[in-house]
Amino acid sequence: MRQLASQPVERSVELANCPPGPVGLEPGASQAQATTAWPAPLDVHPNPWNEQDLARRLCHVLDIAQQAVKRLAPNGYTDSVEPGNNVRPEKVISETALLLVAASGAAEHDDVRAHVEKVAQLLIFHARSERMLLGACLEPALALDFAQAHVCLHRLGYHDPAFDKLLRKSLHSQARFGHERVPHRMLEQEWLMNGCKRPRPSSLKRTPRAALNSVLNHPMDLLNGSRDDIYAFTHALIYATDFNLYPHRLPREKAVILAEAEVALARCLDEQDYDLAAEVLLAWPLTGKSWSAAAAFGFQVLARVEDEAGFLPAPSTRLERLNSLQGSERRAYLLATAYHTVYVMGLLCAAALQPGRTPPLEISTRGVRNGSASAILQFLELDDRKAHWRVDFDRLKDRERDAIAGLLLNIALRRKAVQRDFGALHKLLEIAYVLGLAGTPAASQAAELLERVASVSRWSAPRSV
Amino acid sequence: MSARVNHQDVVKRLLDTKAVDFAAVGKAVAEFGPSLSLADEPWEGFCGTMRTFFHCFIINPGLGGTTVESLGALRGAAGELQS
């Protein structure tokens, strides 16, 4: 990280009590990995990833980040036709900074480090602009929100004592805690505070207080929960683990958390919600070194979709609208609607580039029961629905399909719960029990749901007479 | 048993009173909806208070998703993200 800090930066002065750079960024730590350019259109990799390929994907994301900073950081994006596409400049700036912190964990790759430096140089001006300074000054309860990019850059070695001084004033003000936050947002605040100083090893052994109140410590509503609930989960995990740079102890066992992540992943893949799918997939590299069969398959789907589209797409990018625009308007629309999901793929690749965290190319088939997949698949084929994952599934060998029968079960349980098809839900649980797949949090919640529905049925029947 | 009231009748009677102006409700939701949907914590956002004015339950929302555009067609625009 000293290397990054040695670049000419705005008011760059070494601070006392600043955190060390992420491991592996010091000069000499480089593996001199050369990454290649993004493949030409339709040059889709048949067998997509290894460490070098993940670095290439991350650099591609960082290239797009340069454009996002140039075009969106000054004024954001305002869409008069679809206000849902509006992007505040603070959001782009903060998310870019977060991406850089995540990418710094893979900076032993020369290309990644060079890309991080380029984007950071562009970001400094916006992260410490008058707008951000005034925001931190006038709204002390939101000071860390305005200072997020500044704090991230500080972690990367780009210091600014003047901004620090103002931030300290705001953080010592009476109104500092004047904004009430949900637990994962409280974790974000703790994470930012930790970014201002070197974390003590002993502090990493404890679970952050906010994490105890978060969904990391309580089961999600896996069948009927909202997207926001999954966001709360993924964000809490990101902040508690600090992209594996300074990970805290989690409030529950990793296996329990990953079992719930697997259910959320199933839903996101089935709904082609790749922004959230990539965030959920972070759970594996951020908590341990092994990827479950379902997680490995999930990464396979995302990598293939990214290869085919040229970026990991979101539903917000509409081609009809895009094709109605020209020039800078067109590029701004494309960036504004696409950049976030693109960034999340970058976060995932950065996490997967950490030593031993690369997702396996082959899906493990250990302990697989033959015929499991087809038994569950019959429930899915009743729905007129073809998500991208099905293409990848059809390419798997029979044993690999059976290895992800649990993922299929999670997809089916979610679908039937949403459709309120309680009869099918019951049948699914029976089959899952026979196949030895019922010991999952989604199956358990489905059983509870059926029990409640039965109670309601008994309770309401006499009243409707 | 004879004292029971069919809840549909109750609802119909209430609707017939025209006590709820659904057009006005729709107008208010249309005005506040876009900004609320973009707010960080929309469930606490109405009029800036903690009070819940409306509960909207989606009893059977159906399956979401499947709205990502054709991957091949998106590929045509991918290069523009970097230029």
- What's the whole-number mean pLDDT along residues A150-167? 96
Q: Do A315 and B71 touch (CB under 8 A)?
A: no
Whether B81 contacts chain A with CB within 8 A: yes
To the nearest whole Å, the CA of B16 is away from the closest chain A CA by: 22
The model's pLDDT over A109-135, given as tens digits with 9 standing for 90+, comes to 999 999 999 999 999 999 999 999 999
Q: Do A319 and B69 touch (CB under 8 A)?
A: yes
Instruction: Choose among A86, A408, A99, A105: nearest CA to A279.
Output: A99
pLDDT value for A465: 53
pLDDT value for B65: 52
pLDDT value for B63: 62
- What's the whole-number mean pLDDT along residues A399-427? 96
Q: What is the DSSP secondary structure assignment for residue A223, as one 8-state letter? A: T
- Residue B49 region, left (φ>0) first, then alpha (ψ -120 to 50), else beta? beta
* CB B80 within 8 Å of CB A331: yes
Looking at per-residue confidence, does A370 or A14 come out higher?
A370
Residues of A in contact with B59 (CB under 8 A): 420
pLDDT value for A29: 35
Whether B30 contacts chain A with CB within 8 A: no
pTM of the model: 0.82
Residue from the list B37, B78, B80 with its beta carbon closest to the beta carbon of A331: B80
Q: Do B72 and A308 touch (CB under 8 A)?
A: yes
Identify residue A95 by its one-letter amino acid code.
E
Whether B41 contacts chain A with CB within 8 A: yes
Whether B75 contacts chain A with CB within 8 A: yes
pLDDT of A324 higher than 70: yes
Q: What is the DSSP secondary structure assignment for residue A244, as one 8-state letter? A: G
Distance CA A195, CA A150 (A): 10
Instruction: Choose among A294, A308, A269, A421: nearest CA to A360.
Output: A294
In sequence order, what E strands does A313-415 have? none
Whether B48 contacts chain A with CB within 8 A: no
Residue from the list A273, A322, A334 with its beta carbon closest to the beta carbon of B65: A273
Question: Is residue A12 packed enough to be buried (19+ CB in 10 Å), middle (13-18) or exposed (0-12)?
Answer: middle
For chain A, domain boundaries: 372-463
The model's pLDDT over A41-93, given as tens digits with 9 standing for 90+, comes to 334 555 567 899 999 999 999 999 999 999 999 999 999 888 889 999 999 99
Residue located via tokens 């429930």? A379
Instruction: Choose among A222, A277, A220, A219: nearest CA to A425.
Output: A222
pLDDT value for A33: 38
- What's the whole-number mean pLDDT along residues B18-34? 78
pLDDT of B57 higher than 70: no
Identify residue A78 by its one-letter amino acid code.
T
Grade residue A443 by pLDDT with cuts at 50, 70 and 90. Answer: very high
Identify residue A115 by its one-letter amino acid code.
H
Identify residue A221 by its one-letter amino acid code.
D
pLDDT value for A266: 98
Residue located via tokens 């107008």? B27
Question: Is residue A131 packed enough to be buried (19+ CB in 10 Å), middle (13-18) or exposed (0-12)?
Answer: middle
Residue located via tokens 């000069």? A27
In sequence order, what E strands does A124-171 have? none
The model's pLDDT over A138-150, given as tens digits with 9 standing for 90+, comes to 999 999 999 999 9
Q: Do B79 and A41 touch (CB under 8 A)?
A: yes
CA dist list (Å): A421 to A325, A378, A427, A444, A446: 43, 15, 10, 17, 11
